[in-house]
Structure 1
């Protein structure tokens, strides 16, 4: 009888050991970048911080510094520490208030007519009458063209009708208004996957990861599409990241990521790449039993 293989994933103890020097270098570059502009927004602040971070970490001679950047915890820990140094070194260049953009862009429309049409559209969606939902969302958008929730749900309705081109069209309109919108970024990736345009899907999942590094869906979506492109290494790397976040948040989706990792393992094992699989697992601080 053939013995069935069961993959168990556990997380090894996690520690980040990197010198203060790398953080100070990133903070110095961040301050230099911020000094070049007179109107510092939250977006400019984030770009000035993250761009030198990626460049300096990836070229650092200490492998532990580079490895720390391969995990969500590593990135977040470094971000917090660098922000603390920047606040001390150039406090006048740090934005006073970090706005919650979701509250702004995912809120109700200030136009009463648009909001009423949107509510009607949602009711039609609940009834799975997506054609009438689209008509209602069109009325909402006619009254308020920048109504992100209406654009997103318009796209969802088209996707439910398997009209992926129109779904993508409205997700793009949503992203023109709110580029960081996690809902549109995640779902436009899904739409491109359905169209078998895996490379474009990955590009949107990478944007989701960039804006929302603690959102597992970006890594999970990228992992699935890399797998479809037969890039098992990148598929596995992203799927491990998704699995870590799902596990840490006690999400039921951890079962899905573990099953996907198991499928990648079986494929790599059949291609005599089991050692590579274990190497990538170790890099992501995951122990294979």
Structure 2
């Protein structure tokens, strides 16, 4: 009887201590979520990220902390913990919200506005941007919150090299839909064309915040960091963009490879080759 009891205690101790990192995080996050009367996406994310920080900081194994020293490491652990929560306490998962992009990047419910927009798009395809602007202005008069029309009128002004008006309409689009990827990407491009690299970076950083798996945010930010001679930040962002493009089998990997090569040559001349290799290693990029 004593042997059986002792074996049970030993096994219990072993099982308690053989929890994976994501299981420990999930257990703490579930406990956090249980205390909330109503669970939304923000509360869920706070419980998950706070639990992860607490578990990792308390872990005595230095390798655990090293594992989240990169963006990729953090994302991987968050994903695993998220999946574990779904298995262990799925009742605490927030209800899936309707995809905002489907709401805002859609046709206008105002038929007249939609008709004007359709005509304007034909003018855009014909590269008659001035007439397209007139049609889009009419669409916006009929539906002032028509995000697609706001984005496209900004595109027309950009094609006409009227960058101030392009920015004006991208900002109007973002006032309605702050997470709008098209406006965030393209306003960054326009600020770059105006040589306002720091402001361009601000918008690309917003895109990264809202869409951390979108390579365009990192790629755009990286190019602009390069313009202000912040080579280390540029390199880190370009590496992240390269990994995402590679995973998606995108042709843009050629662009990131070209930029990585240019940054490497620059850093070698400045005796920073070791820093280049260190950032590459942190991003799991093999340098031959």
TM-score between the two structures when normalised by the length of structure 2:
0.81
Residue 87 to residue 198, structure 1, CA distance change in 2 (3 Å): same
Relative to structure 1, is the Cα distance of residues 115 and 199 closer, same or farther in structure 2, using a 3 angstrom cutoff? same
- Distance in 1, matches of 2:169 and 2:64, equals 43
Q: Which residue of 2 aligns with 1:52?
A: 50
Structure having greater relative contact order (Cα 8 Å, sep ≥ 6): 1
Q: Distance in 2 between matches of 1:129 and 1:53?
A: 55
1:162 to partner: Cα distance: 1.1
| Matched residue count | 268
**Structure 1 residues 83 and 192: alpha-carbon distance in aligned structure 2, compared to 1, 3 A threshold:** same
Query: In structure 2, what is the Cα distance between the partners aligned to 1:60 and 1:253?
Result: 40
Q: Distance between the aligned counterparts of 1:183 and 1:223, measured in 2?
A: 18
Instruction: Give 1:11's aligned residue.
Output: none
How many Å separate the matches in 1 of 2:37 and 2:199?
33
Structure 2 gaps, min length 5: 1-18
Between 1:57-66 and 1:142-151, the stretch displaced more is 57-66
What 5-or-longer segments of structure 1 have no aligned partner?
1-18
Check whether the contact 2:264–2:276 (CA below 8 A) recurs between aligned residues: yes
Does the CA-based 8 Å contact 2:25-2:55 persist in structure 1?
no
Q: In the alignment, what sits opposite 1:70?
A: 70
**Secondary structure of 1:154 counterpart:** helix
* Residues 56 and 238 (structure 1), Cα distance of their counterparts in 2 relative to 1, 3 Å cut: farther
Choose 1 or 2 for highest CA Rg.
Answer: 2
**C-alpha root-mean-square deviation of aligned residues, in Å?**
2.8
| Paired position in structure 1 for 2:156 | 157
Give distance in 2, aligned partners of 1:139 and 1:280. 50
Deviation at 1:134, TM superposition (A): 1.1
CA distances 1:133-173 after superposition (whole Å, capped 9, x unpaired): 11111111111111111111111111111111111111111
Change (3 A) 1:193 1:139: same
CA distance in 1, matches of 2:37, 2:176: 23
